Amino acid sequence: MPEELIPIYIMGKRYDVPPGLTIMKATEYAGYRLIRGAGCRGGFCGACATVYRTAGDYRLKVALACQTVAEPEMYIAQIPFFPAERPAYKLDELEPTFETLVKLYPELLRCLSCGTCTKACPQDLDVKDYMAEAMRGNIAAVADKSFDCIMCGLCAARCPAEEVQYNIAILCRRLYGKYLAPEAKHLSERVAEIKTGEFDEPMREIKSLSEEELRQRYNERDIEPA
Amino acid sequence: MSYTPEMRESIKKVEATRPARLDQPFPRLAPEEKERLLERFHPDYRAEGFRDIRVGPNKGEKAPNELVDVLEGRSHLTSDALDLTRIDYDTDVLIIGGGGAGASAALLARENGAGVILATKLRLGDANTMMAQGGIQAADKPNDSPVIHYLDIMGGGRFVNDPDLVEALVIDASLVIQWLGDLGVMFDKEPDGTMMTIHGGGTSRKRMHSARDYSGAGIMRVLRDEVRSYPEHITVLEFSSAIELLMDDKGQVAGAILQNLETGEHLVVRARCTIIATGGSGRLHYQGFATTNHYGATGDGLILGYRVGARLLHQDTMQYHPTGAAYPEQIVGQLVTAKVRGLGAQVVNAEGNQFVYHLETRDAEASAVIRECTERGEGVETPSGMLGVWLDSPMINIIHGPGTIEAKLPAMVRQFKRFDIDITKDPMLVYPTLHYQNGGLILRPDGSIPGIPNLYGAGEISGGVHGRNRLMGNSLLEITVFGRRAGRAAALRAKEVELGKLTLAHVDEWNKQLQEAGIDNPILSPILLPDYARKVR
Ligand SMILES: Cc1cc2nc3c(=O)[nH]c(=O)nc-3n(C[C@H](O)[C@H](O)[C@H](O)COP(=O)(O)OP(=O)(O)OC[C@H]3O[C@@H](n4cnc5c(N)ncnc54)[C@H](O)[C@@H]3O)c2cc1C
Ligand code: FES
């Protein structure tokens, strides 16, 4: 029934859709078959970055289309592609230092700490704060604070200093994971055992069991307490 | 959007039973009980949901109706549709699919000297891999071993798994965790470096490794960044779907036809070896279930392989995740990670009573929820008429201390907070959702597809690794283990392949078989994307 519908504007054109739909589903209700702007549909991939404005408000807002409910009088446009800089590097050849960050992303030092990125982040990350950590060369802190980044690009899209925050963040997470995180000794030991063939014989034994024997062993296996 | 007054009433009951439930462990299902539960309530046992396949290598076997529809589909092409002498890309290894399996394959193919084209439907990393939350299994603790892992997998899969594939999986597991760590994946660790590991449904040791509850994203973001580090050897083609494999006149697979999703343009890719890594098929919505899967999970690779003669295994079994969101409406079907149960949250009914142990295998857990909501009538109804049961998340902070939920489950907290639900204080309403394709193309341990020269596969596309039920955390493992194996094997094989003249004759042959089998009005497949656009007049 028409009176139950709400008006939204997709790239300036009006459509009437039922209330309560996400922006993504509202767009589909309007008749679009999405190709760009939809990936995971669950808030994990960052494909659906969207810019919008609501009636009577001059400010541009941003959101993930798959995670945000369409409101009446919303003016919506998707950012299907954002041409961000990702310099050429190979992790193997890098060192986990401030110098590495600045060499690859010299614009890092131009960050104004204005906080536009933090306001933009649909994951509610404090992007400005992790950028400040990057400027201090605290790679571990950047890695930790940017962990939940889905790389949608909205921070970079809004940044007046033209930083590519999310690419700096993935670089820091990788540097941390590879060079700074404490080593898991039990893992290296297990890898060594596997390479020397320690499990070859026990594997052969268990693979030689009949289904019935295997079933029995399964049902009787001891379970580590939770 | 927070809970309705009726739901609030039920939550009070959940809170009232919580102290007792914390103390009293609920018994696990005995093997016979579990069998009965599955037979009566698991969607795989609903005969109306299935029918016989009428053409191709698995003719006469059952599959879900929606899968049969696309398997019995007609090709988008005919053999004379394109000039195959005009080759757009010529490569050693073509990888179809840009999820975790495809990216791993690309890296190992490159490492083994191959030039690679990676073609994917959406963007690189828009994939089920990106969505995985819970974690990845590997037996790397002193009280664990690949052999114990093997036993868990065989039992979970009901002893019909391919033992050679399971062996490859468990033996490579620790190697893969180390490889991922070296690429910069940040696994959760204790300050001394020990991996933090927990149980998952059906595990007998705590071997679930995680990267908070962004485990899949943690892996996929890194693999994607690594793939982008080698532009001179790996060419990534986004929004380019494979719609048919190419053959040559010697009967070998020789690449694929891609379609640019935006312009419709067709591209001819000639490849010495081809790897199918297109993932699952949740977007076929078997039996009308909502799904956790990404937008492009339409089972395309199954069809591409099937049309050139690759056989499917266990194509009649799907995994329904016991805990899909049932409320709020906007996120129905989306995953509530199994880690919530792994951390101790129990599943309880409208009266606040527990009705199943919270760490049963997924098939049993899902069946118990369906029984609770149907036969027993103990589900909670939402305003849209959907039924669900409570997943008692606040227990986690009581068991492990305040702040645990926020620290270990940030994605879940965020997802519900967007709709004004605080899962640290209130439980979440859940119902089973279509999650995973247990079966798929038959592979060998090196990722090659038996009987089809130069064709490989890896990832959720495979059949046999998990038997009839995959355990949580073994899929992120599978995609990296077999992605790497397939990438390596394909690169080595590519060095000796001599391709003949390209042909699409098999497509005409296929369309003819459909006719002979009396299949009228077949749909065009692979379908590439589900059609959710409302049909306007
Ligand atoms: C929400 C969710 C949570 C999960 N949690 C866990 C977990 O905690 N632990 C675990 O082990 N597993 C988990 N899984 C399962 C696991 O994530 C997947 O099974 C696995 O990541 C699949 O990887 P893949 O590379 O085979 O497929 P995908 O990652 O789906 O990648 C396939 C790619 O191929 C592309 N593609 C499809 N068709 C075509 C075509 N015709 N042409 C070109 N490209 C194509 C797709 O768009 C996609 O990019 C989860 C799955 C989901 C959906
Ligand atoms: S579609 Fe992936 S975040 Fe919205």
| pLDDT tens profile A20-60 | 899 999 999 999 999 999 999 999 999 999 999 998 999 99
Whether residue B50 lies inside any domain: the answer is: no
Sign of CA dihedral A35, B302, B294, B173: negative
Instruction: From the candidates B314, B341, B358, B485, give the one annotated as an active-site residue.
Output: B341
| C-alpha closest to that of A11 among A21, A58, A30, A25 | A30
A216 in B contact zone (CB under 8 Å): no
A192/A155 same-domain check: no
Per-residue b/e over A70-79, b at no fewer than 16 CB within 10 Å?
Answer: beeebbbebb
B321 is catalytic: yes
- Decide which of B375, B406, B434 is a domain's last residue: B434
- Scan residues 108-127 of B and list those with Cβ closer than 8 Å to A: 122-123, 125-127
Whether residue A86 lies inside any domain: the answer is: no
The DSSP secondary-structure symbol of B335 reads B
A98/A174 same-domain check: yes
| % residues pLDDT > 70 (chain B) | 100
Considering only CB atoms, which chain B residues are within 8 Å of A203?
146-147, 150, 167, 171
A224 to chain B: nearest residue by CA? B205
CA of A47 to the centre of ligand 2 (A): 5
**Helix, strand or coil for residue B432?**
strand
Whether residue A225 lies inside any domain: the answer is: no
Instruction: From the candidates B321, B362, B493, B506, give the one annotated as an active-site residue.
Output: B321
Render B244-288 in DSSP notation, one character per residue. Answer: EEEEETTS-EEEEEEEETTT--EEEEEEEEEEE-----GGG-GGG
- Decide which of A45, A78, A111 is a domain's last residue: A78
Q: Look at A188 and B419; give whichever has higher pLDDT.
A: A188
Residue B51, phi then psi, degrees to nearest 5: -155, 170
> Cα–Cα distance between A210 and B159 in angstroms, integer?
10
Whether residue B517 lies inside any domain: the answer is: no
| C-alpha closest to that of B175 among A98, A193, A105 | A193
Whether residue B53 lies inside any domain: the answer is: no
Mutate to test the interface with B, among A121, A190, A199, A210 (most CBs of B within 10 A): A190
Instruction: Note down the domain range covering B332.
Output: 5-41+319-434
Please, which pLDDT band fits residue A80 given cuts at 50, 70 and 90? confident
A154/A102 same-domain check: yes
Supply the mean pLDDT for chain A. 95
Whether residue B66 lies inside any domain: the answer is: no
B170/B257 same-domain check: yes
B470/B411 same-domain check: no
Whether the pLDDT of residue A2 is over 80: the answer is no
Whether residue B537 lies inside any domain: the answer is: no
> Cα–Cα distance between B57 and B506 in angstroms, integer?
14
Residue A49, phi then psi, degrees to nearest 5: -55, 130
Supply the mean pLDDT for chain B. 96
A214 CB less than 6 Å from ligand 2?
no
Whether residue A129 lies inside any domain: the answer is: yes
> Cα–Cα distance between B42 and B319 in angstroms, integer?
10
Considering only CB atoms, which chain A residues are within 8 Å of B126?
39-40, 45, 47
A99/A171 same-domain check: yes
CATH code assigned at B409: 3.90.700.10
CATH code assigned at A167: 1.10.1060.10
Render B379-427 in DSSP notation, one character per residue. Answer: PEEPTTS-EEEEE-TTHHHHHH-TTHHHHH-HHHHHHHHTTT--TTTS-
> Cα–Cα distance between B493 and B105 in angstroms, integer?
14
A51 in B contact zone (CB under 8 Å): no
B126/B257 same-domain check: yes
Q: How far is CA B80 from the centre of its chain?
A: 35
| Structure token pair of residue B395 | 């227990």
A178 to chain B: nearest residue by CA? B184
B332/B290 same-domain check: no
CATH code assigned at A51: 3.10.20.30
B176/B313 same-domain check: yes
B244/B307 same-domain check: yes
Considering only CB atoms, which chain B residues are within 8 Å of A5?
none
For the purposes of burial, counting CB atoms within 10 Å of the CB of B403, is it exposed (0-12), middle (13-18) or buried (19 or more)?
A: exposed
Asked if B151 and A218 come within 8 Å (Cβ–Cβ), the reply is yes
pLDDT tens string B44-92? 999 999 999 999 999 999 999 999 999 999 999 999 999 999 999 999 9
Please, which pLDDT band fits residue B418 given cuts at 50, 70 and 90? confident
A132/A154 same-domain check: yes
CB contact at 8 A, A20 and A14: no
Which pLDDT belongs to residue A4? 87
A58/A95 same-domain check: no
- Scan residues 62-81 of A and list those with Cβ closer than 8 Å to B: 67-69
Whether residue B415 lies inside any domain: the answer is: yes
- Scan residues 184-203 of A and list those with Cβ closer than 8 Å to B: 184-188, 190-191, 194, 199, 202-203
B221 is catalytic: no
Which pLDDT belongs to residue A146? 98
Considering only CB atoms, which chain A residues are within 8 Å of B214?
44, 147-148
Whether the pLDDT of residue A82 is over 90: the answer is no
Give the closest-approach CA distance of B214 to chain A in angstroms.
7
B392/B446 same-domain check: no
Question: Strand pairing partners for B260?
Answer: B240
Whether residue A173 lies inside any domain: the answer is: yes
Whether residue B67 lies inside any domain: the answer is: no
Whether residue B54 lies inside any domain: the answer is: no
Whether the pLDDT of residue B269 is over 60: the answer is yes
B216 CB less than 6 Å from ligand 1?
yes
A73/A151 same-domain check: no
A95/A151 same-domain check: yes
> Cα–Cα distance between B483 and B458 in angstroms, integer?
5
Cα→Cα distances B65→A161, A180, A186, A201, B47, Å? 54, 51, 47, 44, 10
Whether the pLDDT of residue A186 is over 70: the answer is yes
B227/B375 same-domain check: no
CATH code assigned at B133: 3.50.50.60
CB contact at 8 A, B219 and A79: no
- Helix (H), strand (E) at residue A140: helix A139-145
CB pairs under 8 A between A and B: 221
pLDDT tens string A119-145? 999 999 999 999 999 999 999 999 999
Whether residue A38 lies inside any domain: the answer is: yes
> Cα–Cα distance between B209 and B194 in angstroms, integer?
11
Domain count, chain B: 2
B311/B358 same-domain check: no
- Scan residues 81-100 of A and list those with Cβ closer than 8 Å to B: 86, 88-91
- Decide which of B374, B399, B434 is a domain's last residue: B434
| % residues pLDDT > 90 (chain B) | 92
Please, which pLDDT band fits residue B1 given cuts at 50, 70 and 90? low
> Cα–Cα distance between B277 and B456 in angstroms, integer?
9
Which pLDDT belongs to residue A1? 42
Please, which pLDDT band fits residue B505 given cuts at 50, 70 and 90? very high
A105/A153 same-domain check: yes
CB contact at 8 A, A157 and A165: no
Residues 6+ apart with CB under 8 A from B288: none
Q: Supply the angle between the helices B474-494 and B100-111 in degrees, to the nearest 10.
A: 40
B94/B30 same-domain check: no
Give the closest-approach CA distance of B424 to chain A in angstroms.
18
The mean per-residue pLDDT over the stretch B208-233 comes to 97
| C-alpha closest to that of B337 among B324, B319, B320, B355 | B324
Considering only CB atoms, which chain A residues are within 8 Å of B141?
186
B305 CB less than 6 Å from ligand 1?
no
> Cα–Cα distance between B502 and B251 in angstroms, integer?
10
Asked whether the bond before B146 is cis by omega within 30 degrees of 0, the reply is: no
Domain count, chain A: 3
A194/A207 same-domain check: yes
A24/A102 same-domain check: no
Instruction: Note down the domain range covering A25.
Output: 6-78
Cα→Cα distances A101→A97, A111, A151, A164, B481, Å? 7, 13, 18, 12, 32
| Structure token pair of residue A79 | 């950012």
Pairing of strands A13-17, A6-10: antiparallel
B444/B414 same-domain check: no
Which pLDDT belongs to residue A3? 52
Of A31, A148, A150, the CB nearest to B533: A31
CA angle B252, B257, B259 (to 5 degrees): 165
B445/B490 same-domain check: yes
Whether the pLDDT of residue B325 is over 90: the answer is yes
